[in-house]
Amino acid sequence: MLHVIGLGLGDSTDITVKGLEIIRMCDRVYLESYTSILSTNLKDLERFYGCSILEADRELVESNADEILPKDEKENVAFLVVGDPFGATTHSDLILRAREKDIKVKIVHNSSILTAIGCCGLQLYRFGETVSIPYWNNDWQPNSFYEKIISNRQRDLHTLCLLDIKIKEPTIESIAKKKKEYMPSQFMSVSEAATQLLKIIEEKNEETKEEPVLEESSLVVGLARVGWDNQRIIACSLGEMASIDLGPPLHSLIIPAINLHPLELEFITLYKCK
């Protein structure tokens, strides 16, 4: 059986009792290591879980998934995911591959950023489509996510923006040479995301004379290390967020609805810039 187990958002102790019991009876245990991070390292996880853990990078999961799957009916494999197992489409693909091979799959859920963002006081049922904000470079500056933010705003819904993570990403040169060399890890900050949004807004304002739905003065919420002991939340204008330092990763950005419920307003006030 393949066991896909959510680890939650914080450290080794966020695992559920059910998840921990399964991990300790498995023949092989993998940790998916490229869509998110925990506040603890691999060695600490191994000590707490009482077993050896193999790291599963993007290449292994997306290109060599068969290496992860159980080899026979007697083998049990645990695939550990930060957050919840269905927090990334990659994990759904692994489950489908297992099903195609008639391998039994068991899911153990846990908290994820998609629910934990409620800690800022914005009501979960008012969130619209979640978007991802990618890193820009000189040759590639996509902005399709912006239209989804605007669509949510027009329907008076909040938008959760998941910020880009680059872990063990191959360099352009190594791809050309077919030699594995990787870029340093990168984790987008709320200030970087806000800066990119401001550039898009500026470009859009030049293209149209319509009243903007999102502007520099709009309220946004920055969250860092949600679920960790040193979690931080701040609410301020988009322009101010471009210069906010929330410290180490992981960061998330929320673009709230235009009209907030009185309880949301009261809660958000707790995190306003002083």
Residues at the binding site for S-adenosyl-L-methionine are 9, 84, 87, 112-113, 163, 226, 251
Q: Specify the residue for token string 């498995």.
A: 26
CA distance 137 to 140: 5
Beta bridge partners of 221: 235, 254
Output the six-digit token pair for 146.
């912006």
